[in-house]
Amino acid sequence: MLRLSNNVSIPAAELSFQAIRASGPGGQNVNKVSSAVQLFFNVRESSLPEFYKSRIFRLRDSRLTAEGIIVIRAEEHRSLEKNKTAAMERLRQMILKATETQKKRRPTRPTLGSKNRRIDSKKKRGKTKALRKRPDF
């Protein structure tokens, strides 16, 4: 079971794992042992509340397929169990990130001091450029 909050959790039956061979260096075991893991989670058929599902589908994430399946690959550890745990934690982080609400931006106005500083710097720059001209006689 993957717990997202006090009220929401994903049953272990909705998560499916596939052991695959990890890429990269691994010594003698690299071609024999499948220690990397691919986690598959079908969002459409899951027991998640509709709020979570809609937020996940709004994500622009390459791990979410067009069919609504999240595919996460974990291969950073040498053991299969640690990679399963890492993949589940990444799925948890992805779902929690999708449900975060951003603060609404309140537009601000520049202060009087910042306006005056801006105008002064423009005047100073203009004087510097004016001094580069040829003098008029």
pLDDT in tens, 99-133: 888 899 999 999 999 999 999 999 999 999 999 98
Domain range holding 93?
A: 2-99
pLDDT on residue 79: 84
Averaged pLDDT for residues 72-77: 90
pLDDT on residue 78: 81
The confidence band for 87, taking pLDDT boundaries of 50, 70 and 90, is very high
8 Å CB contact between 83 and 37 = yes
- pLDDT tens, residue by residue, 19-48: 888 876 666 666 677 888 999 999 988 888
Residue 127 lies in a domain: no
If DSSP codes are grouped into helix, strand and coil, which group holds residue 84?
helix
Residue 80 lies in a domain: yes
For 72, phi then psi, to 5°, come to -120, 130
| Averaged pLDDT score across all residues of the chain | 88
Number of structural domains in the chain: 1
Nearest to 58 by CA among 39, 38, 43: 43
Residue 84 lies in a domain: yes
Residue 134 lies in a domain: no
Give this prediction's pTM. 0.70
Residue 74 lies in a domain: yes
Nearest to 37 by CA among 1, 4, 85: 85
CA distance linking residue 16 with residue 6, whole number of Å: 23
Residue 115 lies in a domain: no
Q: At 64, which CATH number?
A: 3.30.160.20
Residue 111 lies in a domain: no
pLDDT on residue 28: 64
Residue 121 lies in a domain: no
